[in-house]
Amino acid sequence: MGRARQTKRFATMKRMISASDPRLKDKDRAPPKKKKPEDLNEVKTVEHVQQSSALFFQYNTQLGPPFHVLVDTNFINFSIKNKMDIIQSMMDCLYAKCIPYITDCVMAELEKLGSKYRIALRIVKDPRFERLPCMHKGTYADDCLVNRVTQHKAYIVATCDKDLKRRIRKIPGVPIMYLTNHRYSIERMPDAYGAPKDR
């Protein structure tokens, strides 16, 4: 009978000498870390995220005509499905001039959807739609819109996506425009007189 083969062990660590080993001389040992004694009179500081200066409690003072509306991919697609003119319907909802904004990410998402959504691309390339360049990596539109709205509270977000709506509701002072009963409605905006009121 031959000798049993010893299998090689993977991911085994080299044995290290412990810090309290008696073979270590005092000069080789790491000095013990000293904790600073807590001063009871010292005021403890906690850093908080600075609240936006645009907000007066929950009311966003930066919103006003002309309204700047960040448009999401599915909002355009749903508007086409319902045969609605985006800019005209926005004006009917808000009773004021609206400037729709398209980010590079939303544009990239529409281009990725292929020839089926070429009408949406043609609508978006209208000169009345403003383009916003994106400086970040990747083309995930939801993150892009959330980041933009967190930095600048001057936008209304137009989307029909439930997950994106849920994320934006956590940011104070940002209204959400969505499609309901073949009309645009707006959430968290008391000044929108044209929006259908929820019963």
Which residues on neighbouring strands pair with residue 156, listed in sequence order?
69
Q: Are 109 and 141 in contact (CB under 8 A)?
A: yes
pLDDT at 1: 57
pLDDT surpassing 80 at residue 17: no
The residue with greater pLDDT, 90 or 12, is: 90
- Burial pattern 69-84, b for ≥16 Cβ within 10 A else e, equals bbbbbbbbbbbeeeeb
